[in-house]
Amino acid sequence: MPLPIGHALAGVVLQQVRPGFFFTNRWRDALFFMLLANLPDADFLPGLLCGRPNLYHHGAFHSLGAALGVAALGAGFFCLKKRPVAAGRCGRFWGPAAMIFLLFCSHLLLDLFALDLVAPFGLPLFWPFSGRYFIASRPFFINITRSSASGDFFPSLFNGHNLAAALREVVILGSLALAAAWLRARAEKRSRGRGEKGGISGG
Ligand SMILES: [Zn+2]
């Protein structure tokens, strides 16, 4: 599993595709994208409360079935709240549903391409239709070492091995986020340029 920083950067990549999708405030919007990209790892919480943080991790909540369920629930919530603004009137359900699904799946994709040395290896990707676990044969990301006890779970994350894993994630996904930001800035500049030209010729 990549660290939260890796998943957050994947969220930033998607935010660059549709900035201001959930909230008009840029930072609030970015934080929400990052939060949704990390959401599947909320399956650590029940285990942490029981004293065994890994107990439910990489279970049913790391699957396409969970992605569909969360997307439907989240989109239903936005539909009731008449948000997000950027989704428009017709897309108040399907727009947010698609974006939440994509963000959840970005997490599954990164986990799929991470080295996993703790059984069961990988993710039950097609739950509830199949309980079979999947993992990429050639991982991009290094495994994260962590304690199996809640008491020292968080301190156990701070070690040299995990720092190397974090740096790798920042290099790979940070580059993608920067490239996405650059492409978005270029597209915005072009559309502004076209708007100004249209204004001059129209006047
Ligand atoms: Zn995960």
Per-residue pLDDT band at 15 (split at 50, 70, 90): very high
| 203 has a pLDDT exceeding 50 | no
Question: How far, in Å, from the CA of 73 to the mean position of ligand 1?
Answer: 20
Buried b / exposed e across 101-135, counting CB within 10 Å, b at 16+? bbbbbbbbebbbebbbeeeeebbbbebeeeeebeb
User: How far is ligand 1, taken at its centre, from the CA of residue 5, in Å?
Assistant: 12
Residue 196 has pLDDT above 80, yes or no: no
Residue 47's nearest CA partner among 59, 39, 35, 38 is 59
Which pLDDT value is given to residue 201? Answer: 56
The residue ranges of every structural domain in the chain are: 4-202
The pair of three-digit structure tokens given for residue 40, joined into one six-digit string: 């599947």
Please identify every residue whose CB atom is under 5 Å from ligand 1, which is an ion: 1, 40-41, 111
Q: What are the tokens at 59? A: 């279970």
d(CA 65, CA 175): 30
Residues 58, 1: contact at Cβ < 8 Å? yes
Q: Using one digit for the tens of pLDDT, what is the confidence trace for 165-193? A: 999 999 999 999 999 999 999 998 888 88
pTM of the entire predicted model: 0.89
